[in-house]
Amino acid sequence: MAGHDTETDPNARWLSVPGQAPVLVAAAVFVMLWQALPAVSAGEALRFAWDWVPSLGISLSFLIDGLSLTFGLLISGIGALVFLYASKYLQGHPHFARFMLFLTLFMLAMLGLVLADNLLTLFVFWELTTITSYLLIGFDHSTSKARRSALQALLLTGAGALALLAGIVLIGTAAGTFELSEIRAQGDVLQEHALYLPILILVLIGAFTKSAQFPLHFWLPNAMAAPTPVSAYLHSATMVKAGVYLLARMHPNLGGTDVWLWTLTIFGAVTAVFASVMALKQTDLKQALAYTTLMALGTLTLFLAADIGYAITAAMTFLVVHSLYKAALFLVVGIIDHGTGSRDVYELGGLARAMPITAAAAGIAALSMAGFPPFIGFISKEIKYAGALAVQSEPYLVAGAALLANALMVAVAGIVSFSPFWRRPHLAEKLSPHEAPWQMWVGPAILASLGAFFGIFPDSLAVALVNPGVAAILGPDVDPAALKLWAGINVPLLLSIATFAMGITIYIYRRPLRDRLIAMGERAISFDRGWDHVLDGLKAVAAWQTRLIQSGVMRQYLFITFATLFVGVGGTILARGGFSVDLAWPDLLLKHWVVIVLVVAGALVTLTTSSRIAAIAGLGAVGIGVALIFIIFGAPDVAITQLLVETLVVVLFGVAALKLPRLDPSGRKTHRPLDAALAVGVGVVITGVMLMVTAGPLDRRLTDYFEATSWPEAFGRNIVNVILVDFRALDTFGEIAVVVIAALGAYALLKGRSPEEKQ
């Protein structure tokens, strides 16, 4: 057995903490959720809540009902198997521990997402899955393809999440609460609300980007740049279903309207058919599976459009069935890739002899995917046809889309799991295939066997997960459809037979069809390339506005800053009725005159001198004049600070001035007149503002408060200092943090130059 050598190897990675701990965590979660199964199957909903940010109505509340439990069991159960698989798949990888950490974090975030009862909590976990997905897609960060795919997924799903957040906030204002269980208890309050349409559009944007509905689908096939365990777990079994979960969760609150029905029907049907055609076109096994995942997401959306028992039963059943067989097939493709080094359908063949267990698991999973009896995929397909024929929108459209998608699924199932294993060997010898260690085949084997088990005993699945799930979406009064292997000769059975016939025909003629599709694809619009154009355009705009505003010339920065001040303040004052100041000449004492003379003389020196040192000394004199004003009016702290800062500025500038060129005399003619005009303008505006401010009565409430409380409450008599370090300590902390950051930034600029530049 291939697993033997790893068990004796003391360095085997899967025996290490990062190899084992995630498996144990996932298994423990699975067991915990399993214990809730009897209660939930009996129709109960368990709720746990802790306050988080009570002032904003955010609580850490979790709800375990049929829907969230189904998702939770899939996430933790498949998670345990995928983690076990990954511990072997990435054995010896230098960032193995990091990978397992990301995967575990993702699992916890995903569990939080599906169990959350508070919409804002749900959103936090939603974003956490986006971020962990970004890290996992970009795990192989040395390749530009992985980086691009990771960023694309992050930007698209992140933008969708922003729309979702806006939708959640609107729901909160419309319903008055963020708790899903409370919103649900209110009945049709959202559907009848004036904001229904904006809410629906925003929530759907969030769900459709996350679940990769056409035309926002293209990030998902690209996300296959991630290692296979990630593709199996995030981008097939769990994360991409978050959008579907949201649709199911919001179904009672937003569903049941014509807009909901038609939007979901059209987007779901287009995605399902488009994706299954695209799946046929792929020659890379992983890409083919990625498009079948898109097809599954489209189908789930399609069935969630309706609000009848049959359609929702079909959605819930297919959700479980798809997760089982798709995760198994992804893991199988990973084993093929691992064992042969290739995923290309043209290169692979005859692997069944070398990989018997994998071949068996792949075969069972694929039969379930193609919908052959007695597997659960067959039952799921029958229910889908029954549900399609019962929908209120357009039964023929839905059934036709389902038929076409299912027939293509049969063909893709053959391509993915029949031809690599059983077709006449081609290059099998060159690729030297070998069976995977047990940690890798046990996952696909269990998942595939479950597909067979549920097919033979469909009641176990129905009672445990599907019926409670349907009840969670439609309420306990609606009867879910029964899952039966033999339902008699009826329309769904005839449609099934038609599906097999079409699917097998497509499989036989797959090569000419694929060539035709590839030829057509070259002429069609590529959404992926369109995305590049959007990003390029964004970067071009950013570069253009940076060139415009960030010229790199100090004088222009200052000019723009002061011009903005002048226009902003002056414009506001003009718009509000202009200046209204009583110019009464105050009685000035000698000390006031001294200050005035000092400030005016300093300003004149600064303006007229041709020496930088004289100019900065002149400015220093102005500053000292201002400090004197503070002293005269009784603010010694401010005055001391002002004096010290002025002193230090002059000293620092004196050091730097040695290296600066002399003032440019040509400026007197070119830009100085304009600068002078702006300076006078700013001066007039600020003076006017100061006069207007001091003309009004002084509001002494704050001053009185601080005077009264400074000593009794903060034990300090210097009010300025008490405010700085006690009453407003948080503000001061923010300010000193800015001081440190500014100093480090300037230090990097001064020290960052290369030695040649310094000379």
Partner 1 sequence: MNSIILLAATRLLVPLLLVFSFYMLLRGHNTPGGGFIGGLIGATGFVVYAIACGTDLARQALRVPPEKVAMVGLGIALFAGVMAAFFGDIFFTGQWLFIGETEDDKGLPLSSVLIFDIGVYLVVLGSILTLAFALEEGV
Distance CA 293, CA 137 (A): 17
CB of 530 to partner 1, least distance (A): 46
Give me the 307-346 binding string for partner 1, x by CB under 8 A, dash otherwise. ----------------------------------------
Q: Between 534 and 645, whose beta carbon lies closer to partner 1?
A: 645
Distance CA 55, CA 458 (A): 47
Scanning residues 740 to 759, which ones bind partner 1 (CB under 8 A)? Answer: 740, 742-744, 746-747, 750-751, 753, 758
Scanning residues 231 to 260, which ones bind partner 1 (CB under 8 A)? Answer: none
Token reading at 243: 């959008």
Which is it for the CA torsion 460, 461, 462, 465, positive or negative? Answer: positive
Q: What residues does 46 pair with on adjacent strands?
A: 64
Nearest residue to 291 via CA among 309, 303, 277: 277
Q: Between 519 and 655, whose beta carbon lies closer to partner 1?
A: 655
Give CA 647 to chain center in angstroms: 50
Choose which of 645, 663, 677, 684 interacts with partner 1 (CB under 8 A). 645
Does 733 contact partner 1 by CB under 8 A?
A: yes
CB of 645 to partner 1, least distance (A): 7
Token reading at 176: 């008055």
Give me the 703-722 binding string for partner 1, x by CB under 8 A, dash otherwise. -----------xxxxx-xxx
Q: Between 360 and 635, whose beta carbon lies closer to partner 1?
A: 635
- Asked if 45 and 441 count as a contact pair (C-beta separation under 8 A), the reply is no
Q: Between 541 and 651, whose beta carbon lies closer to partner 1?
A: 651
Q: Is 345 left (phi over 0), alpha (psi -120 to 50) or beta?
A: alpha
Choose which of 41, 191, 283, 732 interacts with partner 1 (CB under 8 A). 732
CB of 656 to partner 1, least distance (A): 6
Q: Between 31 and 656, whose beta carbon lies closer to partner 1?
A: 656
Scanning residues 651 to 670, which ones bind partner 1 (CB under 8 A)? Answer: 651-652, 655-656, 658-659
CB of 569 to partner 1, least distance (A): 28
Q: Between 11 and 759, whose beta carbon lies closer to partner 1?
A: 759
**DSSP-assigned letters across all residues of 530-572:** HHHHHHHHHHHHHHHHHHHH--S-HHHHHHHHHHHHHHHHHHH
Cβ neighbours, 10 Å, residue 440: 30
Give me the 581-620 binding string for partner 1, x by CB under 8 A, dash otherwise. ----------------------------------------
Distance CA 560, CA 543 (A): 18
Q: Residue-wise over 632-642: b if at least 16 C-beta within 10 A, else e?
A: eeeeeebbeeb
Distances (CA, A) of 442 to 4, 10, 88, 108, 449: 14, 22, 12, 23, 10
What residue type is assigned to position 116 of the chain? Answer: A
Using CB under 8 A as the binding criterion, the count of chain residues that bind partner 1 stands at 42
Q: Between 54 and 697, whose beta carbon lies closer to partner 1?
A: 54
Does 640 contact partner 1 by CB under 8 A?
A: yes
Q: Between 559 and 653, whose beta carbon lies closer to partner 1?
A: 653
Number of helical H runs and strand E runs in the chain:
36, 2
Piece of 323-331, 332-340, 470-478, 730-738 that binds partner 1 (CB under 8 A)? 730-738
646 contact partners, CB below 8 Å, separation of at least 6: 620, 623, 624, 627
What are the backbone angles phi and psi of residue 696, rounded to the nearest 5°? -75, 165
What does the binding site for partner 1 look like in residue numbers (CB under 8 A)?
A: 636-637, 640-641, 644-645, 647-648, 651-652, 655-656, 658-659, 714-718, 720-722, 724-726, 729-730, 732-733, 736-737, 739-740, 742-744, 746-747, 750-751, 753, 758
